[in-house]
């Protein structure tokens, strides 16, 4: 049976107690996206400043939630700040793979298949501390809340950006 | 005189309480979500399957007749347990949720017109909100709410105005979040004076207090077996027979008909008119055994035990944690049921219940299917400990000790 030490690693508690990049950004120009976990009432707001050359130049988190969702958001903010949108997207995929989230995609015959999409080149660093969450299935949604919200923000940024000629 | 419950002996009747969790004994404080089952209930269901099972109201052979007899005997036991004048008004459902949907769909569609008003309260479980919100969408009925006032009590100061012109008043007899015991009789009298019928969600009430449908002043009462030591998969809707007789059927199929032709059908008489398809027979037998078990303890004793234990819990938690704990709901143990919702420090209830689980202590964390109430309380979620006949002061102490550990971990 997994124990608490698998879940509440010291670095997670640190990010929970001292969340990084908390606050808001004026929106617009920043993208403001809300995420919601109906199970536990967690709410997260991600503010994203994406530069014209497709870089996440600033990012802020507000909202409230449990230690897992809050620390995951905090670590995410540190990991993503300064990265390009593409790098941020591979980080999201790598994080979800670590959370064993199965993405539906079409296989060669056009049939939907469930697969964990690995991102071999991506370093998760501190975020690996969240791996223990996988042993507590009901908490996975807490860990992924901010990541799904970020993804939505990146999608909005992409849609708004002038498509490359 | 009410006998004191012998909790030590009662604990032995519940096999699950022997199951350890991570080397700790199981401290089960989530009976408001679902209670555990005594051996007597498990045995009754097993015995039924081993010796008697056949479909009811069909075969003429011996075991089919015996199955039917046991099924109807269970109905009679429930009727007696809730003070129903006759088993005819006792309809078996899947759970209380289905019972309330039955009223909304059958009574509601026959009696409500666009613009008609239904009065509910702000402390309802989703089970007594969503069926009416659905009718609002379909029929355009108006919904009104009795607000939550001070000290976890309903604010009845505006009751006369709220109840004026409504067709139905639906309310919980005990809040699953706050433990509040609203004055059902007083509200029912006001409703009747205004010409409305009264539906009582007694999911949390029947397991813990002496229930008498006439004393409650209700026209419909819903209960759910799994919260009162019985199995999942069965509940009861009691209804005033004159109302049930007038109502159209809810679900259609076998069992609920007297005659079927290719161009129409004649519904069965009460209570089978509302029981389409093969019913939960073993579950009814289990519910009957649960009712026997509770009657054996005596519901006055059950209630007295819970008041005492709730008082101990409120005292212990406030003494040990002071301002670090906020307990929602009425402060006076005699005015509330044995559910204690709390916020602990600034910790999220998910984190609290996760750490408690490490020590074998099971509490619920979340919105308890009462999101409008959560919004009203200004919290996203709470942790909730709830007590039943197999809980004692040692369980409360285990909760408090585990809260200390939680506090240490996040310090
Ligand atoms: C007050 C109240 N009403 C309704 C319900 C729904 O019960 P069930 O899910 O068994 O239908 C519950 C329990 O969850 C409850 O506490």
**pLDDT score, position A103:** 57
**pLDDT score, position A39:** 72
- Stretch(es) of chain B classified as CATH 3.40.640.10: 42-296
pTM: 0.91
DSSP 8-state symbol, A28: T
Question: Is A49:A80 a contact under the CB 8 Å cutoff?
Answer: no
**pLDDT score, position A97:** 87
**pLDDT score, position A107:** 58
Question: Average pLDDT over chain B, rounded to whole?
Answer: 96
Residue B357: closest C-alpha in chain A: A4
**pLDDT score, position B292:** 98
Pairwise CB contact (< 8 Å): A13 & B358: no
CATH of the domain at A71: 3.90.1010.10
Instruction: State if residue B204 touches ligand 1 by the CB under 6 angstroms criterion.
Output: yes
Residue of B24, B177, B351 for testing the chain A interface, max A β-carbons within 10 Å: B351
Give the distance from residue A57's alpha carbon to the nearest chain B alpha carbon, in angstroms. Answer: 31
Distance separating alpha carbons of residues A73 and A46, to the nearest angstrom: 9
The residues of chain B scoring below 70 in pLDDT are 1
Look at residue A165 and tell me if it is in a domain.
no
C-alpha B230 – ligand 1 centre gap (Å): 14
Looking at CATH, the fold of the domain delimited by B42-296 is given as 3.40.640
Interval B349-389: pLDDT, tens: 999 999 999 999 999 998 889 989 988 998 888 999 999 99
Question: Is B16:B360 a contact under the CB 8 Å cutoff?
Answer: no
∠ at Cα B134 (B130, B140), nearest 5°? 130
Looking at CATH, the fold of the domain delimited by B7-30+298-409 is given as 3.90.1150
Instruction: State if residue B127 touches ligand 1 by the CB under 6 angstroms criterion.
Output: yes
For residue A14, how far is the Cα from the chain centroid?
18
List the one residue out of B294, B364, B285, B302 whose CA is nearest residue B32: B364
Question: Is B223:B235 a contact under the CB 8 Å cutoff?
Answer: yes
**pLDDT score, position B32:** 98
- Stretch(es) of chain B classified as CATH 3.90.1150.10: 7-30+298-409
Instruction: Domain of residue A52: give its range.
Output: 4-160
Instruction: State if residue B367 touches ligand 1 by the CB under 6 angstroms criterion.
Output: no
List the one residue out of B91, B33, B44 whose CA is nearest residue B287: B44
Distance separating alpha carbons of residues B386 and B362, to the nearest angstrom: 10
ipTM > 0.90, yes or no: no
The closest residue, in CA terms, to atom 15 on ligand 1 is: B203
- The number of distinct structural domains making up chain A is 1
């Amino acid at each position: 049976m997994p124990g608490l030490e698998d879940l509440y690693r010291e670095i997670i508690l640190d990010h929970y107690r001292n969340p990084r990049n908390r606050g808001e950004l004026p929106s617009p120009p920043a993208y403001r996206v809300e995420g919601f976990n109906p199970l536990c009432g967690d709410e997260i707001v991600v503010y994203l400043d994406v530069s014209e050359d497709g870089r996440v130049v600033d990012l802020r988190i507000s909202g409230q939630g449990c230690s897992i969702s809050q620390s995951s958001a905090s670590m995410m903010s540190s990991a993503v700040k300064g990265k390009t949108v593409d790098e941020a997207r591979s980080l999201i995929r790598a994080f979800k793979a670590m959370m064993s989230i199965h993405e539906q995609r079409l296989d060669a015959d056009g049939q939907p298949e469930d697969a964990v999409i690995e991102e071999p080149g991506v370093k998760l660093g501190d975020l690996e501390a969240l791996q223990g969450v996988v042993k507590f299935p009901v908490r996975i949604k807490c860990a992924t809340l901010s990541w799904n919200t970020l993804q939505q923000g990146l999608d909005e940024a992409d849609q708004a950006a002038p498509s490359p000629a | 005189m009410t006998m004191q419950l012998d909790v030590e002996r009662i604990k032995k009747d519940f096999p699950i309480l022997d199951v350890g969790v991570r080397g700790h004994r199981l401290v089960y404080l989530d009976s408001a979500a679902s209670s555990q089952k005594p051996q007597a209930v498990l045995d009754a269901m097993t015995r039924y399957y081993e010796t008697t099972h056949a479909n009811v109201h069909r075969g003429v052979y011996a075991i089919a007749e015996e199955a039917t007899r046991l099924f109807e005997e269970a109905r009679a036991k429930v009727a007696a347990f809730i003070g129903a004048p006759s088993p005819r008004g006792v309809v078996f459902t899947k759970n209380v949720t289905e019972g309330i949907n039955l009223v909304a769909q059958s009574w509601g569609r026959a009696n409500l017109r666009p613009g008609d008003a239904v009065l509910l309260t702000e402390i309802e479980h989703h089970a007594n909100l969503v069926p009416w919100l659905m009718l609002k969408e379909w029929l355009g009925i108006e919904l009104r709410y009795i607000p939550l006032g001070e000290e976890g009590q309903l604010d009845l100061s505006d009751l006369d105005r709220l109840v004026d012109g409504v067709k139905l008043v639906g309310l919980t007899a005990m809040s699953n979040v706050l433990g509040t015991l609203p004055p059902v009789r007083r509200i029912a009298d006001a409703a009747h004076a205004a010409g409305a019928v009264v539906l009582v969600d007694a999911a949390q009430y029947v397991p813990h207090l002496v229930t008498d449908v006439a004393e409650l002043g209700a026209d419909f009462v819903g209960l759910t077996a799994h919260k009162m030591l019985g199995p999942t998969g069965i509940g009861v809707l009691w209804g005033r027979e004159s109302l049930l007789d007038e109502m159209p059927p809810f679900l259609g199929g076998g069992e609920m008909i007297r005659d079927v032709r290719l161009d129409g059908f004649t519904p069965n008489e009460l209570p089978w008119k509302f029981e389409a398809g093969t019913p939960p027979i073993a579950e009814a037998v289990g519910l009957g055994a649960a009712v026997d078990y509770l009657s054996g303890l005596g519901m006055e004793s059950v209630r007295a035990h819970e008041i005492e234990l709730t008082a101990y819990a409120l005292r212990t938690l406030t003494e040990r944690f002071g301002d670090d704990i906020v307990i929602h709901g009425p402060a006076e143990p005699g005015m509330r049921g044995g559910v204690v919702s709390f916020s602990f420090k600034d910790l999220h209830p998910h984190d609290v219940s996760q750490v408690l689980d490490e020590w074998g202590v099971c509490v619920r964390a979340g919105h308890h299917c009462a999101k409008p109430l959560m919004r009203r309380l200004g919290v996203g979620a709470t942790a909730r400990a709830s007590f039943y006949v197999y809980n004692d002061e040692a369980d409360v102490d285990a909760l408090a000790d585990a809260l200390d550990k939680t506090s240490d971990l996040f310090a």
